[in-house]
Amino acid sequence: METAEATAAERPGLRERKKQRTHDALLRAALELFTTQGYEATTVDEIAEAVDVSQRTFFRYFAGKEEAALAIIDLTHEHFVAALRARPAHEAPLEALRNAVLEGWDAMGEAVAQIVPVDLYLRSYGMIESTPALLAAHLRRADEVAREIEAIVAEREGLDVRADPRPRVAVAVFAGVMRVTERLWAMGGDLSMEAMRELTAAHLDALRPSLAEKWRSG
């Protein structure tokens, strides 16, 4: 056991490498099929067959179709959380959140590219947005991430989440804006990282004006 893990840290054994390969192959095959013929129209058997494994094996790697479809996005979520943790302590909450997103994207892109082609990753957002079951699962995961972020923000400010509503509200506001951005980006024409960054910045800039009493003068 210990030997196996120690070895894995340097160079994973054949077994581990094989597992990784199967996992990534299933992931790529799934996304490829989903984005081309549609999520609902793709059966698990098809995915398994494309990788030449049994259906049962697919379910040993992924809890279900949904998880396969959203796995890479989970990856980016993890990267965002890490990026937020790395923000300097002097930044205000919303400032830290904003910087974590805008500056963390390139690293995300690189991490993604090591598993699936970037354009496949980008196209998957369109698929998610236009597939009700998938969008639902995605929103739930985003909600979970929000809870994680609440804790981080609270810790940054030395607050108790259960006593002070501000960490939760701040994260909810941020998550809301990010959701709008995501939706517009995924449904819009330009599925590029630059477009996403610009849209994000624009919507975050619109935050305070949106809360103003009088919109006419703004």
Partner DNA sequence: GAGGCTAATGTCAGCCACTGACAGTTGACA
Partner DNA sequence: TGTCAACTGTCAGTGGCTGACATTAGCCTC
Q: List contacts with DNA (CB under 7 A).
A: 1, 3-4, 7, 13-16, 18-19, 22, 42-45, 52-57, 59-61, 63-66
| Smallest separation (angstroms) from DNA to the CB of 148 | 24
Chosen from DNA, a copy of itself, none, partner binding at 151 (C-beta under 5 to 8 Å by type) = none
Count of Cβ atoms closer than 10 Å to residue 80 Cβ: 21
Nearest residue to 101 via CA among 122, 126, 123, 84: 84
Phi, psi of 124 (to 5 degrees): -65, -25
Q: Closer to DNA by CB, 61 or 105: give it.
A: 61
| Collapsed DSSP state (helix, strand, coil) of residue 159 | coil
| Smallest separation (angstroms) from a copy of itself to the CB of 192 | 19
Q: What is the token pair recorded at 80? A: 């965002």
Query: What is the DSSP code (8-state) at residue 35?
Result: H
| Smallest separation (angstroms) from DNA to the CB of 146 | 23
With beta carbons less than 8 A apart as the criterion, state whether 42 and 100 touch: no
Chosen from a copy of itself, DNA, none, partner binding at 45 (C-beta under 5 to 8 Å by type) = DNA
Q: Which residue has the tokens 């910045």?
A: 201
| Smallest separation (angstroms) from DNA to the CB of 72 | 17
Count of Cβ atoms closer than 10 Å to residue 15 Cβ: 10
Q: Closer to DNA by CB, 19 or 179: give it.
A: 19
Q: Closer to a copy of itself by CB, 49 or 148: give it.
A: 148
- Distance in angstroms (rounded) separating the CA atoms of residues 172 and 159: 16
Residues 9, 12, 18, 19, Cα dihedral to 10°? -30
The footprint of a copy of itself (CB under 8 A) covers 92-95, 132, 135-137, 139-140, 143, 157, 159, 165-170, 172-177, 179-180, 183-184, 202-203, 206-216, 218
Chosen from DNA, a copy of itself, none, partner binding at 38 (C-beta under 5 to 8 Å by type) = none
